[in-house]
Amino acid sequence: MSEEDIEERRSKEEIERLSVGVEGFDPIIGGGIPRGFFVAVTGEPGTGKTIFSIHFAWRGVLDNDKVIYVTTEESRESIIRQAKMFNMDLEKAIDEEKMIIIDALMRGRADEWSLDEIDVDRLVEKIIEAKKRLGYGRARLVIDSMSAFWLDKPAMARKYSYMVKRILYRWDFTTLMISQYAITTGDAFGFGVEHVADGIIRFRRSVRRGVLKRYVLVEKMRQTAHDTRMYEIDIINGKGMIVIGPVSLRREDVSLPEDVMRRIKDQKKRSEKELP
Ligand SMILES: Nc1ncnc2c1ncn2[C@@H]1O[C@H](COP(=O)(O)OP(=O)(O)O)[C@@H](O)[C@H]1O
Ligand SMILES: [Mg+2]
């Protein structure tokens, strides 16, 4: 076989994709997240980032992947309780050594799988330690969220993200890296994480006719002819997140009122001037 033939065969080879575990989501991204990808998940508070990530983790448990979930904003117990509302038994998965939740909330309570300081190098060490414990094979990782790690060194974020991505790839992780989205300025607190990510999944919310609506938009997914429409989603008690369907919204439906936007912009300009 000539080199061209081999190359052609390789390019036609199916990309291995991991199911996200949210009903209706996989088709949006061509069947799932490509193995080894490092995907940024952003959105304002309450838009469903954590619940989406819990689904991803639970799907991993069902698919016999090694699953590691790092939580910095809620305790391990809170994640377990939230999952239980959707009939996902994370406690059992942990007992059966299919999953490890690394608790980085730092409540002074140190166990083997808690982080005693918010430090990127320590985090990476802990993740690798957890992977070694779970064993060889395809793995899923959620870092929920990464924002806290950058707060004191925003300038380092992109460089560190790149390093983290490279190391995790070597350990066969497919990663969701969650970052907060500042509702006031529309700036991702990801500090450039998006620039190194293989994919970006963006959650948002709006109030329509007095009711909270949630949406998701895949802004980037390398090697994937992903859907470019925004989808309405819902979170249902006893079931979890579901995808309802694509929406055609006017810009006004999802942005803040104009006077609020103007005030925010003014404030931003002012704070930029204050920078050294
Ligand atoms: N059992 C439940 N039934 C229905 N909705 C729920 C349930 N639990 C949580 N939610 C919804 O999910 C929201 C939290 O989503 P979450 O994924 O934690 O948001 P984020 O991580 O983006 O801040 C809650 O504000 C609530 O609206
Ligand atoms: Mg959250």
Amino acid at position 138, single letter: R
Beta bridge partners of 231: 216, 246
Q: At what angle do helices 120-134 and 157-170 cross, to 10 degrees?
A: 10
CB neighbours of 189 closer than 8 A, spacing ≥ 6? 147, 150, 179, 180, 181, 182
Average pLDDT of span 200-210: 94
**What tens digit of pLDDT does each residue of 137-191 get?**
999 999 998 887 877 777 777 778 888 899 888 999 999 999 876 544 455 555 5
Beta bridge partners of 205: 214
Q: How far apart are CA 161 and CA 233, in angstroms?
A: 29
Nearest to 53 by CA among 177, 223, 166, 170: 177
Q: How far apart are CA 126 and CA 143, in angstroms?
A: 12
The residue contributing the CA closest to ligand 1 atom 10 is: 235
Question: Is 26's pLDDT higher than 90?
Answer: yes
pTM to 2 decimals?
0.86
Residue 71 confidence class, pLDDT cut points 50, 70, 90 = very high
Q: What whole-number percentage of the chain has pLDDT above 70?
A: 84
Query: Does 3-273 carry CATH code 1.10.8.60?
Result: no
Produce one character per residue of 65-93: b if its CB has 16 or more CB atoms within 10 Å, e if not: bbbbbbbbbebbeebbebbeebebebbeb
Which of 79, 214, 235 maximizes ligand 1 atoms within 8 Å of its Cβ, making it the mutation to test the pocket? Answer: 235
Is there an atom of ligand 1 within 6 Å of 50 CB?
Answer: yes
Residue 14 confidence class, pLDDT cut points 50, 70, 90 = confident
The residue contributing the CA closest to ligand 1 atom 7 is: 237
Task: Give the mean pLDDT of the chain.
Answer: 87
Q: How far apart are the first and last CA of the chain?
A: 61
Query: If DSSP codes are grouped into helix, strand and coil, which group holds residue 98?
Result: coil
- Find where tokens 């320590």 sit: 122
Question: CA 244 → CA 33, 46, 152, 194, distances in Å?
Answer: 20, 18, 39, 26
Residue 4 confidence class, pLDDT cut points 50, 70, 90 = low
Residue 266 confidence class, pLDDT cut points 50, 70, 90 = confident
CB neighbours of 13 closer than 8 A, spacing ≥ 6? none
Q: Say what the pLDDT of residue 161 is.
A: 84
Considering 114-118, 227-231, 252-256, 272-276, the range whose residues carry the highest mean pLDDT is 227-231
Q: How far is the CA of 3 from the centre of ligand 2 (A)?
A: 48
The pair of three-digit structure tokens given for residue 272, joined into one six-digit string = 């930029």
Q: How far is the CA of 46 from the centre of ligand 1 (A)?
A: 6
Q: Say what the pLDDT of residue 257 is.
A: 67
Q: How far is the CA of 13 from the centre of ligand 1 (A)?
A: 38
Question: Is 22's pLDDT higher than 80?
Answer: yes
Kindly give the number of the ligand 1 atom that is closest to the alpha carbon of 212: 27
Average pLDDT of span 44-50: 95
Is there an atom of ligand 1 within 6 Å of 142 CB?
Answer: no
